[in-house]
Amino acid sequence: MAQPSYNLVLIVADTYRKDNAALSPAAELRSPFFDKLQPFYAFDRCFSSAPWTLPACASILSGIDSSSHGYFFHDRPLGRPTLGRYLNGKFQKVAIVNNRNLREFTGFPGDFDKYWYYPKHEEPFDRARQVLTDTAGKRPFFFFFHTNIPHDYFREVSRDYYREMFPDDHDWFLLGARVGTWTGLPAQQRAKVRSIYDASTRHMEEQLAAFLELIDLDQTIICFVADHGEGFDYDRARIHHGGRLHDDLLRVPMVLRLPGGAPREYHEKLAAAQEQSCGIVDILPTLLQLVEYTVPESISGRSLLEPVSTGRNRILVAEDKRYLYRPTRQRYNVNLRGQNTSLWSRLKNLAAQKTLIRGFNLKAYIRYPYKLIITSYHHPPYVSSLGTLVAENLFFSRDPLVQLEDIILSLELFDLEADPMESHNLLSGTSRLSLRNEIGDRLGDLTHMVVDIVGKTFSVETAVQRAPAQ
pLDDT band for position 3 (cuts 50, 70, 90): very low
Strand partners, 366: 316, 371
The tens digit of pLDDT for each residue in 380-431 reads: 665 554 454 455 567 778 778 888 888 888 999 999 999 999 999 999 998 8
Least confident of 235-244, 350-359, 448-457: 350-359
Q: What's the CA gap between 153 and 173, in Å, rounded? A: 10
C-alpha distance from residue 28 to each of 21, 44, 226 (Å)? 11, 18, 21
SS3 content of the chain, % helix, strand, coil (to 5): 35, 20, 40
- The torsion of the CA quartet 453, 456, 461, 467, rounded to 10 degrees, works out to -80
Q: Is the pLDDT of residue 47 over 80?
A: yes
Q: What's the CA gap between 432 and 374, in Å, rounded? A: 16
| DSSP of 18-34 | GGG---STT-SS--HHH
The tens digit of pLDDT for each residue in 251-304 reads: 999 999 999 999 999 999 999 999 999 999 999 999 999 999 999 999 999 999
What average pLDDT does the chain have?
Answer: 90
Q: Is the pLDDT of residue 12 over 60?
A: yes
Q: What is the pLDDT of residue 470?
A: 44
Q: What is the pLDDT of residue 272?
A: 95
Q: What's the CA gap between 51 and 143, in Å, rounded? A: 24
Q: How wide is the angle at C-alpha 96 spanned by C-alphas 93 and 100, nearest 5°?
A: 130
Least confident of 65-74, 141-150, 217-226, 453-462: 453-462
% of residues, the chain, pLDDT over 70: 88
The tens digit of pLDDT for each residue in 221-262 reads: 999 999 999 999 999 999 999 999 999 999 999 999 999 999
Q: What is the pLDDT of residue 341?
A: 60
Domains parsed from the chain with CATH numbers: 7-309 (3.40.720.10), 356-464 (no CATH)
What is the mean predicted confidence (pLDDT) over 177-200?
96
Least confident of 132-141, 267-276, 436-445: 132-141
What is the mean predicted confidence (pLDDT) over 163-180?
95
